[in-house]
Amino acid sequence: MEIGLAADHGGYELKEFLKTYLIGKGHHITDFGAYQMDSKDDYPDFVIPLAHAVVKKEVERGIAVCGSGVGASVVANKVAGVRAALINDHFSAHQGVEDDDLNLLCLGGRITGNMVAQEFVESFLNARFTGEERHLRRLGKVKALEK
C-alpha cells in the first residue's frame, strides 16, 4: 500500500518509528516531513501537503502525527475530500474506515506509545469501507458541506 506520513516535532519520533515499521511490512512510504527534529516547526506545513496527496490519490492512506494529534486532525479536515480523525482506540481505527471512509489517521506522538500506535495503524490499514447505503447517505451529507 502507498502510505503518506507527516509529523511535526511533537510527532517526529513516532513517525520515524512507524515509517520503519511500515517499510518492514512491505508498504511504500511517502514522507512529507518533518525530516529532522525542529522544536520550532509547525504541523500545518507537513500535514497540509499530506492531505492534498490523499485527496489526489497520490497515496492510498495518510497518517499524521503531532504532539496530541488534535492539531493534525483539525488542519487535515480543512482540505476538502479528507476524512481525518484522531484515533485513540482499536475500534475507531477500523470502524472509521468501514463506516466513514476515513482516509487519514491522526495520532498523538506525546500520548500514544509505539506499540499501541502500530496496532492502531494496522487496524486502520486493514479496514475497508463497506459502502453500505446508510454510510453513503451520511457521507453525501458531509461532502455537501465541502461545496
Concerning whether 66 is annotated as a catalytic residue, the answer is: yes
**Position 21: which residue type?**
Y
The closest of 121, 95, 107 to 47, measured between CA atoms, is 107
Q: Which of 47, 66, 84, 93 is flagged as catalytic?
A: 66
Active site residues: 66
